[in-house]
Structure 1
Amino acid sequence: MTQQINQFFDYAKQFSDNAFKAQTLALKGLQTVAELQFKELQRQAGATADFVAAVQETRDIDGLRSLWEKGASVSRENAEQAVAVSQEVIAISQKTAQSLGALVQEQRQAANDAAAPVGRKAAAK
Structure 2
Amino acid sequence: MTQQLNTQVFAYAKQLADSAFKAQSVALKGLERVAELQIKALEKQAEAASDFISDAFETRDIDGLRALWEKATAASRENAERAVAVTQEIIAVTQKTAESLTALAQEQQQAANDAVVAPVKKAAAAAK
Alignment correspondent of 2:11: 10
Cα deviations by residue, 1:65-107 (Å, 9 ceiling, x for unpaired): 0000000000000000000000000000000000000000000
Q: Give the unaligned 5+ runs of structure 1.
A: none
Alignment correspondent of 2:96: 95
Alignment correspondent of 2:51: 50
Question: Which TM-score applies when normalising by structure 2?
Answer: 0.92
Q: State the 1:3 CA deviation.
A: 1.3
SS in 2 for 1:59: coil
Q: State the 1:117 CA deviation.
A: 2.8
**2-side partners of 1:103 and 1:11: how far apart?**
15
Are residue 107 (structure 1) and residue 108 (structure 2) matched? Answer: yes
Cα deviations by residue, 1:23-57 (Å, 9 ceiling, x for unpaired): 00000000000000000000000000000110111
SS in 1 for 2:114: helix
Alignment correspondent of 2:26: 25
Q: State the 1:116 CA deviation.
A: 1.1
Are residue 82 (structure 1) and residue 95 (structure 2) matched? Answer: no
Give me the CA root mean square deviation: 1.4
State the aligned residue count.
124
Alignment correspondent of 1:69: 70
**2-side partners of 1:112 and 1:13: how far apart?**
15
Alignment correspondent of 1:39: 40
What letter is aligned with 2:98?
A
Higher relative contact order (CA 8 A, sep 6+): 2
Q: Give the unaligned 5+ runs of structure 2.
A: none
